[in-house]
């Protein structure tokens, strides 16, 4: 099985993605990615206390593709500030994939 970051790179190179649509940070897809991402980060580090997604950097794109047999319906890219002990550091890049009914399939964070 290919590493997740290779799958994401391949997914993002598919021509089937629709243009990014303007949505607010309160969008249910953004909220789902933020809450799921925070839980995943906190599983790795107890000092993580929050996650702030930069609304100006968000690119929310409808997709109609699959990873193996799992449908991917939305891809969200942007910058996130990970709060450690209440203090936000530098912006990190993030990717979030959502499937059917807005289910979060993957949240991925990487340093710039």
In which residue ranges of the chain is pLDDT below 50?
1-23
pLDDT of residue 77: 97
| Range of the structural domain that residue 84 is part of | 19-111
Tokens of 106: 């993957």
Q: Please tell me the total count of domains within the chain.
A: 1
* pLDDT for 86: 86
Rounded CA gap, 91 and 62, in Å?
24
Is residue 83 a part of any domain in this protein? yes
Residue 13 in domain: no
Rounded to 5°, the CA angle 93-60-18 comes to 125
Instruction: Assess if residue 33 is contained within a domain.
Output: yes
The CA-CA-CA angle for residues 96, 98, 101, to 5°, reads 155
pTM: 0.76
DSSP 8-state code for residue 20:
B
In-domain check, residue 26: yes
- Report yes or no on 6 lying in a domain: no
pLDDT tens for each residue of 55-69:
999 999 999 999 999
Residues 110 and 101: their CA atoms lie apart, in Å, by 26
9: in domain:
no
């Amino acid at each position: 099985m290919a590493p997740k970051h290779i799958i994401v790179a391949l997914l993002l190179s598919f021509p089937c993605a629709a243009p990014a649509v303007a949505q607010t940070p309160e969008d249910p897809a953004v909220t789902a990615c933020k809450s799921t991402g925070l839980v995943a980060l906190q599983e790795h580090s107890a000092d993580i206390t929050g996650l702030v997604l930069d609304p100006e950097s968000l690119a929310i794109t409808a997709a109609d593709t699959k990873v193996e047999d799992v449908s991917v319906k939305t891809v969200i890219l942007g910058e996130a500030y990970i709060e450690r002990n209440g203090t936000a550091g530098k912006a990190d890049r993030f990717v979030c994939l959502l499937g059917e009914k807005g289910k979060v399939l993957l949240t991925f964070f990487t340093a710039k």
